[in-house]
């Protein structure tokens, strides 16, 4: 902090009433207060003082009644520093509170004459009298108090400290199959973000899915659930595999871990953005002109419908079997997901398409009623409805007609996989499950057991889920963007097998993660 200017000398016992007369205390506007600074000690001081100038006073500066107005008027008058033989305690504290540098030095006060050019190093307490070529030493202010001054006062200091101190806790659940290797790449990206933007992320790993079943006999151990509850966000790789498919349903990775996790955390909204990166327009099996520039947000209801309704398997007397899955939705469940879809659309291209099967299903008829009613509240947003079979067709025929698609759990599961292919690969589709206190972020794809450990998998969906984590759980838009921009850049040169194109460099899972992290740090 370079403090430099002309010295203005004052005597002993300058009280706060001389610094800012009581008649001006009816305002707390710093600019107003500055106009009357030192008025009762030197009537024209406020007009003569120049930015950077220094007040040099004898002992007991700032005595009298306690008022923050006093240091504020000095600071806003442009005075860079006050040097005195001593300060009244309350003034001393108030000066730090509002960020006015002050130094105690008897030798400086005695050595400096009115009008001398003075420069001050507040850190070391060295005061230089440029006019006379002398230096003096002031009592050194403790570093933490200097930091308060540097921050511009106590309030800013505390706010900055809280920002710096905030440690974001991320639960990391790698899961099964390719889960661990793709999760590792997302962590590289998040660590690069932490380094680049000065954040503190604490990652804690836990078992989930088949890996947890193998280790402790349950796909969602209590320790894992506890970790999730005590974290700020969850990053999940993928769960499932043939190895565990024949376990009793409540012990399978899907029905024993993933679905309960979504339900218990209240994650009713699953956002799956299908975005075509410019470099990948050729990677889709559809013609480039059909998918170029595509940006669809599938909003899938995640904690209701067929997934969570009553299920039954009955052995009938004749030796055959009857199976039941129930599709249940309540008003509240539909309202909250629809609300979220409209709010999202308002920040995007302002179109919502409700996908349902209202020509057959009672639940769909009611979804239509509720969502159409809500659409009336959003006159700026274009709203249409579409049967799911037609939507499946339209998605490959003319996908750019969609902005936000809102739909139930089952249709959302199917359509989001389909939408992923427009982007070139299922390996590109990130997802955010939100709505509760703690968000869960995972790629939309599964655990691909046959590729496990081969380092062939595309980690981008998981990396991009990390970007969604920053955006939706931590409100870190520019950090999320940094990951997305890094992916955009890297895709111009490097490809995993699933999106490989001639002339580009084929990389494995790890290398893709490294290139993205490097790009974040370079960006
Ligand atoms: C693994 C499975 C239970 C899961 C789902 O159907 O929700 C997956 O397909 C998904 O889309 O996240
Ligand atoms: Mg799915």
Q: Which residues pair with 432 in a beta bridge?
A: 271, 441
**Residue 235 lies inside a defined structural domain of this protein:** yes
User: What mean pLDDT value characterizes the chain?
Assistant: 94
Q: Residue with the nearest Cα to atom 6 of ligand 1?
A: 413
405 and 444 both lie in a single domain: no
Domain that holds residue 191: 166-267+426-523
Rounded-to-integer distance, Cα 403 and Cα 13, Å: 70
**Residue 360 lies inside a defined structural domain of this protein:** yes
Ligand 2 mean position, distance from CA 412 (Å): 8
The pLDDT of residue 29: 84
What is the ipTM for the molecules in this complex? 0.99
Domain limit, last residue, from 390, 422, 454: 422
Q: Which residues of 463-480 are buried (b: 16+ CB within 10 A; e: fewer)?
A: bbbbbbbbbbbbebeebb
Residues with CB under 6 Å of ligand 1 are: 240, 254, 258, 413, 444, 446
Quick one: which ligand is closest to 461's CA? 1
How does residue 97 score in pLDDT terms, banded at 50, 70 and 90? confident
**Residue 277 lies inside a defined structural domain of this protein:** no
- Least confident stretch, 74-83, 216-225, 489-498: 74-83
Domain limit, last residue, from 145, 161, 177: 161
Q: Residue with the nearest Cα to atom 2 of ligand 1?
A: 254
Rounded-to-integer distance, Cα 159 and Cα 235, Å: 28
SS3 for 184-195 is HHHHHHHHHHHH
Rounded-to-integer distance, Cα 422 and Cα 283, Å: 9
Q: pLDDT of 456-506, one tens digit each?
A: 999 999 999 999 999 999 999 999 999 999 999 999 999 999 999 999 999
**Residue 217 lies inside a defined structural domain of this protein:** yes
452 and 508 both lie in a single domain: yes
Q: Is 389 annotated as a binding residue?
A: yes
Q: Is 325 annotated as a binding residue?
A: no
388 and 463 both lie in a single domain: no
Ligand 2 mean position, distance from CA 347 (Å): 26
The pLDDT of residue 111: 95
CB 80 within 8 A of CB 52: yes
The pLDDT of residue 139: 87
Q: Residue with the nearest Cα to atom 11 of ligand 1?
A: 413
205 and 334 both lie in a single domain: no
209 and 222 both lie in a single domain: yes
Q: Residue with the nearest Cα to atom 1 of ligand 1?
A: 254
Helix 69-76 crosses helix 89-98 at what angle (to 10 degrees)? 50
CATH of the domain at 57: 3.20.19.10
- Least confident stretch, 56-60, 109-113, 282-286, 312-316: 282-286
326 and 471 both lie in a single domain: no
Q: Taken in order 383, 471, 271, 514, is the CA torsion positive or negative?
A: positive
242 and 350 both lie in a single domain: no
Residue 173 in tokens: 């659940």
Residue 120 in tokens: 């001050």
**Considering only CA atoms, which of 254, 260, 257 is closest in space to residue 242?**
254
How does residue 258 score in pLDDT terms, banded at 50, 70 and 90? very high
Please identify every residue annotated as catalytic: 307, 357, 389, 413, 417
Taking the CA of residue 255 as reference, the ligand 1 atom at the shortest distance is 3
- DSSP E strands in 288-362: the ranges are 295-301, 311-315, 321-325, 351-356
Q: Is 417 annotated as a binding residue?
A: yes
CB 419 within 8 A of CB 442: no
**Residue 517 lies inside a defined structural domain of this protein:** yes
Taking the CA of residue 262 as reference, the ligand 1 atom at the shortest distance is 7
299 and 405 both lie in a single domain: yes
357 and 394 both lie in a single domain: yes
Domain limit, last residue, from 161, 189, 205: 161
310: burial class by Cβ within 10 Å (0-12, 13-18, 19+)? Answer: exposed
Report how many domains make up the chain.
Answer: 3
193 and 129 both lie in a single domain: no
Ligand 2 mean position, distance from CA 229 (Å): 24
**Residue 93 lies inside a defined structural domain of this protein:** yes
Ligand 1 mean position, distance from CA 518 (Å): 31
- DSSP E strands in 71-125: the ranges are 81-84, 102-104, 117-121
The pLDDT of residue 1: 46
179 and 155 both lie in a single domain: no
* Candidate from 249, 258, 263 with most ligand 1 atoms within 8 A of CB, to mutate: 258
**Residue 237 lies inside a defined structural domain of this protein:** yes
- Least confident stretch, 65-74, 247-256, 454-463: 65-74
How many other C-beta atoms can be found within 10 angstroms of the C-beta atom of residue 335? 14
**Considering only CA atoms, which of 20, 150, 180 is closest in space to residue 80?**
150
Quick one: which ligand is closest to 409's CA? 1
Q: pLDDT of 225-250, one tens digit each?
A: 999 999 999 999 999 999 999 999 99
Rounded-to-integer distance, Cα 134 and Cα 50, Å: 22
**Residue 286 lies inside a defined structural domain of this protein:** no
- Least confident stretch, 63-67, 302-306, 359-363: 63-67
348 and 315 both lie in a single domain: yes
- Least confident stretch, 123-127, 286-290, 310-314: 123-127
CATH of the domain at 417: 3.40.718.10
Q: pLDDT of 426-444, one tens digit each?
A: 999 999 999 999 999 999 9
pLDDT for 424 beyond 60: yes
Q: Residue with the nearest Cα to atom 3 of ligand 1?
A: 254
Quick one: which ligand is closest to 239's CA? 1
Q: Is 272 annotated as a binding residue?
A: yes
Rounded-to-integer distance, Cα 194 and Cα 200, Å: 6
- Least confident stretch, 20-29, 52-61, 294-303: 20-29
């Amino acid at each position: 902090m370079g403090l430099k200017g002309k010295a203005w000398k004052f005597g002993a016992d300058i009280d706060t009433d001389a610094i800012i007369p009581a008649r001006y205390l009816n305002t707390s506007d710093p600019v107003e207060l500055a106009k009357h600074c030192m008025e009762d000690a030197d009537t024209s001081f406020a007009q003569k003082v120049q930015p950077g100038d220094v007040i040099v006073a004898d002992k007991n500066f700032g005595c009298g009644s306690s008022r923050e107005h006093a240091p504020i008027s000095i600071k806003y008058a442009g005075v860079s520093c006050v040097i005195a033989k001593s300060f009244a305690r309350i003034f001393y504290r108030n000066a730090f509170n509002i960020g006015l540098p002050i130094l105690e030095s008897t030798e400086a006060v005695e050595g400096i004459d009115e009008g001398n050019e003075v420069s001050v190093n507040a850190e070391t307490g060295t005061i230089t009298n440029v006019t006379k070529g002398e230096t003096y030493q002031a009592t050194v202010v403790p570093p933490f108090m200097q930091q308060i001054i540097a921050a511009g006062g106590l309030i800013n200091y505390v706010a900055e400290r809280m920002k710096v101190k905030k440690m974001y806790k991320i639960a990391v659940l790698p899961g099964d199959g390719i889960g661990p290797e793709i999760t590792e790449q997302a962590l590289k990206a998040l660590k690069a973000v932490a380094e680049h933007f000065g954040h503190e992320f604490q990652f804690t790993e836990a078992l989930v899915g088949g890996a947890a079943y193998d280790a402790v006999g349950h796909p969602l151990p209590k320790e894992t659930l506890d970790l999730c509850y005590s974290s700020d966000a969850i990053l999940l790789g993928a769960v499932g595999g043939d190895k565990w498919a024949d376990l009793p349903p409540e012990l399978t990775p899907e029905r024993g871990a993933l679905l309960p996790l979504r339900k218990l955390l209240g994650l009713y909204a699953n956002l799956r953005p299908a975005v075509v990166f410019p470099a990948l327009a050729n990677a889709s099996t559809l013609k480039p002109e059909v998918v170029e520039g595509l940006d669809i947000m599938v909003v899938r209801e995640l904690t209701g419908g067929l997934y969570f309704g009553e299920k039954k398997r009955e052995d009938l007397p004749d030796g055959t079997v009857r199976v039941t899955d129930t599709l249940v939705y309540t008003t509240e469940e539909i309202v909250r997901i629809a609300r979220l879809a409209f709010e999202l659309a308002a920040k995007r291209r302002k179109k919502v398409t409700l996908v349902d099967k209202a020509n057959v299903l009672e639940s769909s008829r009611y979804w239509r009623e509720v969502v159409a009613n809500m659409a009336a509240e959003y006159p700026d947003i274009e709203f249409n409805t579409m049967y799911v079979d037609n939507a499946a067709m339209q998605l490959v025929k003319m996908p750019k007609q969609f902005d936000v698609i809102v739909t139930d759990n089952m249709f959302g599961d199917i359509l989001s996989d389909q939408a992923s292919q427009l982007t070139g690969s299922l390996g590109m589709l990130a997802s955010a499950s939100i709505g509760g206190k703690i968000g869960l972020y995972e790629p939309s794809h599964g655990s691909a057991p046959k590729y496990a450990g081969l380092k062939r998998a595309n980690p981008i969906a998981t990396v991009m889920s990390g970007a969604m984590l920053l955006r939706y759980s931590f409100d870190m838009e520019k950090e999320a963007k940094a990951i997305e921009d890094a992916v955009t850049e890297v895709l111009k040169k490097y490809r995993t097998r699933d999106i490989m194109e001639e002339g580009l460099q084929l990389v494995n899972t790890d290398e893709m993660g490294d290139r993205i992290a490097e790009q974040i740090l370079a960006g």
